[in-house]
Amino acid sequence: MLDTGFMTTALALGARNLGHAAPNPSVGAVIVAHTAAGSLVVGRGVTHPGGRPHAERVALDRAGEAARGATMYVTLEPCSHHGRTSPCSQAIVEAGIARVVSAIEDADPRVRGQGHAQLRAAGIAVEVGLGGVEAFRQHRGHFLRVTQGRPAVHIKLAQTADGIAARPGTRLMITGRAANDRVHLMRAHADAIMVGVGTVLADDPQLTVRLPGMDERSPLRIVVDSALRTPATAEIVRTASAWPTWIVATDNAPIAAEQALRAAGVEVMRVAAGPDGRVDLTAMLQLFGSLGLTRILCEGGPALAEALARADLVDEVTLITASHAYDGREAGIAALGPALAEALAGEGALVRFGEATAGEDHLAFWERTR
């Protein structure tokens, strides 16, 4: 029971910097001295913004000599390779940690069991698997990046009680304040928010985190815009100097439009077009992975969500359903396209794993299992 509680604390620490530790995973670590008088937390750590220092080193520094003979609870296998600093596994050994409870083995080929092996070789007791399900969810983007070269894609969609979303080019208010706040928290835990150009043209969104005390947690903003139709007057362009913005186009998009966007501070990226003449989404995500992104929240609406589903690039889905139906069906479309609807019905790699309520709205969650 004690182990479970301390691992839960480590997972909560790791969750704090989700969206801010890329290109590294956001890891949580807790060091506990177990004595006859009881158990005392002597060090805590979370991976710092930008990925360094690692959580284990932060916790060890805070514990100091109290780390000797103590137990470390960590949400990911400690690194075992030399990078900018010596391996965390070496630091753990040198600090005199007696036992390590690790949630999950790292999928990074540079580590993949070697960190645990080095600790065991030094005489440290190592236990792996406690909290592994939640740890996998937190580190999904890291695992995908080191094994497939791309970030995790989390789709957020909203629909009325009868399954309607806004038609491309139109705006439709569906969810309430509580659900919207939940979405802003999801944004704060993403490396980037991604939408299609249709969302920009219809809603002119800001795509920032607007929760009290979280102004600085707004992530990178990405627009998938094959033909560079995003106007220079769009909110996402006018605020590009305050919040970094990427627009992804095909090689055929007009140069003049690119120059105007770059002059406004937008980073324009070009990738090859797919068979439909639009941005090749697989190539785009590979580019994002090479640039260090691990977690992307897609709020782009039904069209982009369906395109990602057809390409089998969806790793998580949050579907928010309002309590009210929509009467003017002529102004709306089905929130779920055929490919995504099939995936959510259990016909593919996505499995429903939970639900919640936010005010009068209902949230359901799916994740990739293979």
Residues designated as active site: 56
**Are the C-beta atoms of 213 and 185 separated by less than 8 Å?**
no
Q: Known binder of ligand: residue 199?
A: yes
Q: Known binder of ligand: residue 226?
A: yes
Q: Known binder of ligand: residue 207?
A: yes
Q: How far is CA 80 from CA 59, 116, 172, 339, in A?
A: 17, 8, 50, 41
**Are the C-beta atoms of 165 and 301 separated by less than 8 Å?**
yes
Q: Known binder of ligand: residue 301?
A: yes
Residue in 304, 289, 16, 260 with CA at minimum distance from that of residue 143: 289
CB neighbours (10 Å) of residue 259? Answer: 11
Residue in 37, 44, 42, 36 with CA at minimum distance from that of residue 17: 44
Q: Known binder of ligand: residue 221?
A: no
Q: Known binder of ligand: residue 79?
A: yes
CB neighbours (10 Å) of residue 237? Answer: 22
CA 104/CA 133 separation, integer angstroms = 8
Q: Known binder of ligand: residue 312?
A: no
Q: Known binder of ligand: residue 274?
A: no
Tokens 């506990």: give the residue.
32
SS3 state of residue 137: helix
Q: Known binder of ligand: residue 345?
A: no
Residue 201 backbone phi and psi in degrees, to 5: -70, -35
CA 324/CA 360 separation, integer angstroms = 9
CA 106/CA 119 separation, integer angstroms = 14
Q: What is the DSSP letter of 130?
A: T
Q: Known binder of ligand: residue 298?
A: no
Number of alpha carbons in the 13 Å side-chain half-sphere of residue 202: 18
Q: Known binder of ligand: residue 125?
A: no
Amino acid at 228: L
Residues at the annotated binding site? 54, 79, 88, 158, 187, 199, 203, 207, 210, 226, 299, 301-307
Residues at the annotated binding site for NADP(+)? 158, 199, 226, 301-307
Residues at the annotated binding site for substrate? 187, 203, 207, 210, 299
